[in-house]
Structure 1
Amino acid sequence: MSNILLSSSLDEIGSIVSRFQTGGKVAIISDENVYDLYYERCRQSLDTAGFSIIGYKFKVGEKSKSVDTYIKILEFLAQNKLGRSDSIIALGGGVTGDLAGFVSATYLRGVKLFQIPTTVLSMVDSSVGGKTGINLESGKNLAGAFYMPEIILQDANFLSTLPMKELHNGHAEMIKMGIISGEELFKKVSEPLYNMDLNHISTLIKTCSELKMEIISTDFHDEGRRQILNLGHTIGHAIEKLSGYKISHGEAVAKGLSVISDISEMMNYCIKDTSDAIKNTLKKCKFNQEMPFSAEEISKAVRNDKKVRNDEISLILIEEIGRCKIVSMPLEEFDNCLREAMNRREI
């Protein structure tokens, strides 16, 4: 398995794609915002390198990660005669990477994929590791495939155009990686991103994405150690779905991390100091930890989570900063733990 992470400029994408493809077509897929900002630069670089370029843009937001948008893109590629020796570029944030990645995995049974993440969240998390997918009415990422890009191009210059809410959205995944990694990284990501310069943020992104690559390198299909990357996500995905995706992924994951730290303490997996350290960090970094839904609503939404098997769910619980544990428990026990933890919360 390879997942090549390049620190490079968007203007070099033409020469980079040339390493994997000689001539032919390249389809650039982006949401409307990113398309308007960066499509022309990407197109010019590819044109100079001798490629024929087609572009597809879709509406901004999680709701575009749908069956409808997915089918429209497949039809667009077919109508424009994209062939098996051609390729797709996912230019954008997490929604674009997941959606275009799933298109790449399934169109003509697989065409080359190049990921160019443009947000903190997509650089740290969603572009790394080969998970692609779309949402169904019943839940998040319920249709998808494991499909590796040829490369992931990280251009730190994208960070300068991001609004503060997008920096904040990606910060939750960085805090998650700090909890998984240990005290050194946890301390580094425990400051608000608006207090950091872009070079510092870029360095943290590189550290977090390389750590994720190391974790998935021995468990590509998410059957063992890779599952620890789901820390905070079972509850987080339920919150996203219940909100109609009005609550961002980062905000939802932060809420999930907060509740999971309480459950971990309540079940005696970690001491109170560990739980408090996580919640205090989330508070310091301006994450709202209030739960907008009841335990019963979250439990119902969790039933559609991919990690539910034979009426049991795999939860990632925290033992200490730097050590998490995969714990399988009956759904009824999870319901009781969630209800008790939320009743005891003092945020």
Structure 2
Amino acid sequence: MSDMKATVEPVSNGFAVCGYEKIEYGFEFLDGVFDIQNPQLSKCYSKWQRCLAVMDYNIFTLYGDHVQKYFDHYQIKLTIHKTMIGEKAKTMDTLLSIVDSMNHFGIFRKEPVLVVGGGLVTDVAGFACASYRRNTNYIRVPTTVIGLIDASVSIKVAVNYGGYKNRLGAYHAPQHTFLDFTFLRTLPVGQVRNGFAELIKISSCADKSTFDLLDKYCEQMITTAFGRLESSDEVKVAADQICKAGIYEMLKLESPNLHEIMLDRVIAYGHTWSPLHELVPDPPLRHGHAISIDMAYSATLSLMRGLLSPEDHLRLLRLFSRAGLSMDHHQFDAPLLSKATAAILRTRDGKLRLAVPVSPIGECVFVNDVSHEEMCKVLEMHKNMVAGFPRQGNGLDAFVDSSDTGYGLHGASTEGVPSEEQTDTKHSMPVSLRSLKPMDDVILSAIPAAGLGDVAVKV
């Protein structure tokens, strides 16, 4: 939520406006957000008596019945827009399909959309809400490690465009975010390690104690889904401590700079050359693996400059390897470095602003004076170093599969979605699908027209 205060003063040739926007939003740790004994989420929709949810298709498959029973229990009519969004489907077309559902639903000005899914889903649905009437409320329930500890912490929302990540977007804070780590029980191990990379990012540059815990519990955290799969109290306690500390550290770094006025950002470690790793390879690398390559390479650059000790450099690379994260890719070469550097220089207003870890681990500095020649020398040394690691520096589950791309469902084609109109036979409610894309479809529950007049709206 935000609150704007401003003054307007006449000046010699016009007017001067000075405004300050207060932004307030909260995070709530809540295991079992859709369990009926937990009414917190339902209270957000009680005055509306209905809810439009944008939900990841896999989450719908696993939890759809449970979610429906939750809203039925609280007598809230549930409407679900199902979507499967990967980097290749993180597009304006996908965003517009969500907007179509908001139109069909008839969302009120202050009515919050519920967004349930991983970071890609919250990114695109959040941007749809930022675009719709220029400011539509939304509530987030992230369901992946990246969603829980990284994407949910930021107010940035976006889609990819023109072969570049997050080229179109906005800054749009949610009303509230529910952090429910029980979703990790059903998260594939590849997605668990994918999110583990974000914890390495924040801890290696800003929180040594958390890095030490990651180093200690690395393999156990991944194989037990952060202690959620097996009865390992020690791992769960450590994982909860790590995640809460990581989120808190991210919030402390992000909150003073919500609109990225300051461009030297600690949490941009690993995000200098990685965007092209997610879009150039075919199939693309998962986000965690892309930033791990970037982080490992940046650490090698820091080593060569004498900023990171050989011991800390080796410890960091070993952690990537133990986690099954990528440290290299055959398409990570001089031309990609050049193209990615040119792109990030424009994003960062002409400076590289490269965050690199330094010794002792838990701190970082920003580097600007890196020539292409130095980058290539570092790359050659880095490739030689990681070649001696297991899998020659390649990661496990590194590439997106059909469930990541947004163009497939459990490995099956989804091109057969009706192109004109589909009818919800239960409620006899037509749903236009003309503008919907292969992995976006809508289930609309009937909303009696007379009931709309009973919705309380506060302006």
Contact persistence 1:178–1:185 (CA under 8 A): yes
- Report the Cα offset of residue 334 of structure 1: 4.4
TM-score scaled by length of structure 1: 0.91
2:375 pairs with 302, 319, 338, which one? 338
1:50-87 CA-to-partner distances (Å, cap 9, x unmatched) read 43332111234222211110111112211221121211
Distance 2:282 2:338 in 1: 16
Show the counterpart of 1:221: 259
Amino acid at match of 2:59: V
Where do residues 202-241 of structure 1 align in structure 2 (5 Å cutoff)? 202-224=240-262, 227-241=265-279
Q: Which has the higher contact order (CA 8 A, sep 6+)?
A: 2
- Report the Cα offset of residue 310 of structure 1: 5.0
- Report the Cα offset of residue 203 of structure 1: 3.4
- Summarize the Cα distance change of 1:268–1:307 in structure 2 as closer, same or farther, 3 Å threshold: farther
Contact persistence 2:45–2:76 (CA under 8 A): no
1:114 pairs with 139, 147, 155, which one? 139
Q: Structure 2 unaligned runs (5+)?
A: 1-22, 229-235, 387-459
- Report the Cα offset of residue 95 of structure 1: 0.8
Contact persistence 1:25–1:82 (CA under 8 A): no
Show the counterpart of 2:293: 255
2:178 maps to 1:150 = no
Show the counterpart of 1:266: 304
TM-score scaled by length of structure 2: 0.70
- Summarize the Cα distance change of 1:78–1:232 in structure 2 as closer, same or farther, 3 Å threshold: same
Contact persistence 2:46–2:76 (CA under 8 A): no
1:211-269 CA-to-partner distances (Å, cap 9, x unmatched) read 21122122212233871101011122221121256210011111111000011122333
Amino acid at match of 1:322: G
Contact persistence 1:132–1:145 (CA under 8 A): yes
Show the counterpart of 2:412: none
SS in 2 for 1:282: helix
Show the counterpart of 1:33: 58
Contact persistence 1:180–1:324 (CA under 8 A): yes
Where do residues 176-325 of structure 1 align in structure 2 (5 Å cutoff)? 176-190=201-215, 191-192=218-219, 193-194=221-222, 197-198=227-228, 199=236, 200-224=238-262, 227-244=265-282, 246-293=284-331, 294-305=333-344, 308-309=347-348, 311-320=350-359, 321-325=361-365
- Report the Cα offset of residue 34 of structure 1: 1.3
2:108 pairs with 63, 83, 89, which one? 83
Show the counterpart of 1:68: 93
- Summarize the Cα distance change of 1:25–1:302 in structure 2 as closer, same or farther, 3 Å threshold: farther
- Report the Cα offset of residue 296 of structure 1: 1.4
Amino acid at match of 2:149: V
SS in 2 for 1:286: coil
2:371 maps to 1:328 = no
Contact persistence 2:353–2:368 (CA under 8 A): yes
Distance 1:41 1:176 in 2: 34
Q: Percent identity?
A: 21
Distance 2:381 2:71 in 1: 56
Amino acid at match of 2:145: V
Q: Select the structure that is richer in helix.
A: 1
Contact persistence 1:3–1:213 (CA under 8 A): no
SS in 2 for 1:133: strand
- Report the Cα offset of residue 169 of structure 1: 0.5
Contact persistence 1:14–1:47 (CA under 8 A): no
Distance 2:90 2:345 in 1: 17
- Report the Cα offset of residue 278 of structure 1: 1.2
CA RMSD of superposed structures (Å): 2.3
Name whichever of 298-307 and 227-236 sits farther off: 298-307
Show the counterpart of 2:27: 5
1:175-194 CA-to-partner distances (Å, cap 9, x unmatched) read 11210233211111122223
Contact persistence 2:87–2:279 (CA under 8 A): no
- Report the Cα offset of residue 163 of structure 1: 1.3
- Report the Cα offset of residue 286 of structure 1: 2.1
- Report the Cα offset of residue 341 of structure 1: 0.8
